[in-house]
Chain A
Amino acid sequence: MSFFWIWDFIKPALEIGILWVVFYHILVFFEGTRAFQVFRGISYLLIMFLGAQILGLDIISWLLTKFFAISIIALLIIFQPELRQGLARLGQQHPFNIALEESEIVAIVEELSAAAYKLARQRVGCLIAIERETRLQTYIESGLDVDAKISAELIQSIFLVPSPLHDGGIILRGNRVVAASCLFPLSDNPNFSKITGTRHRAAIGITEHTDAVVVMVSEQSGEVSVAADGRFIPVVNQERLAAVLKDLLVSDAKKKKKK
């Protein structure tokens, strides 16, 4: 008897706990995107709806019920980029750097870090996207095929200004530079778009749409940044850049080996 009595208290707490975790993960997934603001608006409407129900305001409840019914279609249109991104992430099962040993990844990271800091010293802007599980084929097709082994010298020569390939970004897959002059999607995150330049927005943009890691050098400040998962990770020097990249890429390779 006492078990059922206790269960009556635990059950609502458990249900609210499950709902809490689900809502929290949904909010984290959409945080910092345009969709997050829409979510906030919907939350206000939900609170209004509940208030109207409790107070017995039938007209308001009826209007809000009709509004929610229509807004299903509107939400599908508004969230279309996020839904596409979410579904693409669900289908990510294409490991690309699985063939690379940890030592090879470390060597690539060293070359990349050296190239980024050499370019930064010369105040030459650069944008390097490293493919992880999500295929960057769409962006590769927007540029020119290179298909050459990664080296600091190659990256430098691509981005030096007289080079016809210096505009846009390069894409790395495994130990190859697969394409240069690629166009990346620009982030429409309101926190970035007003204060940052186009290269920064492109770096964040591609990491919002895919799981790629981006190394970027600002032409104006000569600052080197790493972007992943729609966020910048601060780096202060070449060693730190190599450590951050190693962390991101080696952990990937280990995960894939476990599979």
Chain B
Amino acid sequence: MKKWFTDNLSLKLVALGLAIITWIYVNRELMR
């Protein structure tokens, strides 16, 4: 389980960052 989290960690963090940014942006657009 630990290996799953630590494998390719930087890529996972970048993907998470992009996911949060996208969600915030789309949410803002939908709220308008």
Contacts and interface: CB of A to CB of B under 8 A. Distances in A.
B23 A12 contact: yes
A39 to B, nearest CB: 9
**Interface size range of chain B in the complex:** 10 to 19
Given A16-B19, A19-B19, A23-B18, A53 B25 contact: yes
Contacts of A31: 11
Contacts, number: 43
B18 to A, nearest CB: 5
Interface string B1-32: 00000001001101110111111110110000
Given A16-B19, A19-B19, A43-B18, A24 B24 contact: no
Main secondary structure of the interface of A (DSSP, over half): helix
A66 to B, nearest CB: 17
A67 interface: no
Contacts of B20: 16
Given A24-B15, A27-B14, A43-B14, A19 B8 contact: no
A75 interface: no
Contacts of A46: 18, 21
Interface of B: 8, 11-12, 14-16, 18-25, 27-28
5 contacts: A15-B23, A17-B19, A23-B19, A26-B15, A50-B25
